[in-house]
């Protein structure tokens, strides 16, 4: 039996592998990567490597074995046929007879277009008959803290989220929840709504940035179409800019407040405060 992690070389996947290695022997972990080069760091730690690509179904033919537990990390190619890519993995896992397939989805409350691919994947997973876990991940702190350059250049947080709040958490927190499901018992056919312990507003986010940088950083709330113009002006493709503006519209409606407590319960500890993530980002 192996614990198999797809998208292992991505931001979330690396955290999952790192935390799995604290709980199980390396030879019981399989990292699915797109090329052997991308898996070299894992291989050096004794992790098994499988080279496969969501876009090439036959590469998944020999990745899974009966009894495996699988973490399907959602593909990052927004705009591509992500449900089709994910179904490749689901079909291969079913053919192999895996014991569990956990999928990183989006909060059940999220109505933005970004959630459509996740809902379609959930439908395919439930239709497969596989024992499943839906890890409905909320927003990541890193969505905001990894790109602070424009914020610090202009002394402004710009969003189309009004006074909406976000229950974000660190990627490492979501990874801890996934690891708990993959290494624990009794999670079959469960849906977990995952989010940070404390929801914050963009005005509070700007205030925390001001406090930690010593600058006066404002929150500029703008309409969605203005945000799309700003993002496309900065070089983002318009379809992706529209997706991000759609997420902000969902935040304004309260759809990214997740107060189930599932994340800290699964992780076995409180979630990482946003202030901590900001401090790490500013040091970097």
Q: Write down the pTM of the prediction.
A: 0.96
* Residue 37 included in any domain: yes
pLDDT value, residue 284: 77
Q: Mean pLDDT, to the nearest integer, of 208-231? A: 97
Q: Which residues contact 188 (CB under 8 A, 6 or more apart)?
A: 100, 131, 132, 133
What's the CA gap between 110 and 117, in Å, rounded? 12
b/e map 20-54, b = 16+ CB within 10 Å: bbeeeebebbbbbbbeeeebeebeeeebbbbebeb
Span 45-60, mean pLDDT? 95
* 66, pLDDT greater than 70: yes
Place of tokens 């490749």: 88
Give residue 77's pLDDT. 72
CA nearest neighbour of 248 among 127, 124, 156, 112: 112
* Inter-residue contact 272 to 178 (CB < 8 Å): no
275 found inside a domain: no
Q: What is the mean pLDDT of the chain?
A: 96
| 249, part of any domain | no
Angle of helix 171-183 versus helix 11-20 axis, rounded to 10: 50
Provide the pLDDT for residue 78. Answer: 65
Mean local confidence (pLDDT), 210-231? 97
Q: What's the confidence (pLDDT) of residue 1?
A: 84
Residue 282 inside a domain? The answer is no
In a domain, 66, yes or no: yes
229 pLDDT exceeds 70? Answer: yes
* pLDDT tens-digit readout, 258-282: 999 999 999 999 999 999 999 999 9
Average pLDDT over residues 49-57: 94
Look at residue 126 and tell me if it is in a domain.
yes
Whether 80 has a pLDDT exceeding 90, the answer reads no
Residue 24 lies in a domain: yes
Tell me how far the alpha carbon of residue 25 is from its chain's centroid.
Answer: 25
Does some domain include residue 227? no
Q: How far is residue 81's CA from residue 139's CA, in Å, rounded to a whole number?
A: 22
b/e sequence 207-231, b meaning 16+ C-beta within 10 Å: bbbbeeeeeebbbbbbebeebbebb
Give the range of the structural domain holding residue 4, as residue numbers without chain letter: 1-136+169-193+258-270
Report d(CA 126, CA 118) in Å as an integer: 12
Yes or no: say if 121 and 103 are a contact pair by the CB < 8 Å rule.
Answer: yes
Residues linked to residue 140 through DSSP beta bridges, in sequence order = 169
The token pair that represents 122 in the structure block: 């959930």
Q: Count up the domains in the chain and report the number.
A: 1
CATH of the domain at 80: 3.40.50.720
Q: Give the pLDDT score at 30.
A: 98
């Amino acid at each position: 039996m192996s614990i198999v992690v797809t998208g292992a070389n991505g931001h979330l996947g690396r955290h999952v592998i790192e935390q799995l290695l604290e709980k199980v022997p390396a030879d019981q972990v399989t990292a699915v990567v797109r090329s052997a080069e991308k898996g070299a760091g894992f291989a050096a730690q004794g992790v098994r490597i499988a080279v496969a690509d969501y876009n090439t179904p036959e590469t998944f033919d020999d990745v899974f074995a009966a009894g495996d537990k699988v973490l399907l990390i959602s593909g990052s190619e927004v705009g591509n046929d992500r449900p089709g890519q994910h179904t490749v993995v689901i079909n291969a896992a079913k053919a192999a007879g895996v014991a569990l397939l956990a999928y990183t989805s989006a909060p059940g409350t999220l109505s933005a277009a970004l959630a459509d691919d996740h809902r379609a994947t959930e439908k395919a997973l439930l239709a497969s008959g596989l024992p499943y876990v839906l890890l409905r991940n909320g927003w990541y702190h890193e969505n905001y803290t990894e790109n602070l350059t424009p914020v610090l250049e202009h002394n402004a947080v710009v969003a189309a989220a009004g006074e909406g709040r976000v229950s974000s958490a660190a990627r490492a927190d979501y990874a801890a929840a996934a690891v708990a499901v993959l290494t624990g018992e009794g999670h079959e056919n469960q849906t977990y709504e995952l989010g940070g312990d404390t929801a914050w507003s963009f005005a509070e986010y700007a205030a925390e940035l001001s406090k930690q940088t010593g600058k006066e950083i404002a929150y500029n709330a703008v309409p969605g179409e203005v945000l799309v113009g700003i993002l496309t002006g900065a070089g983002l493709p318009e379809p992706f800019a529209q997706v991000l503006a759609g997420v902000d519209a969902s935040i304004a409606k309260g759809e990214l407040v997740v107060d189930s407590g599932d994340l800290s319960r699964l992780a076995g500890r409180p979630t990482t405060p946003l202030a901590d993530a900001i401090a790490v980002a500013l040091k970097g």
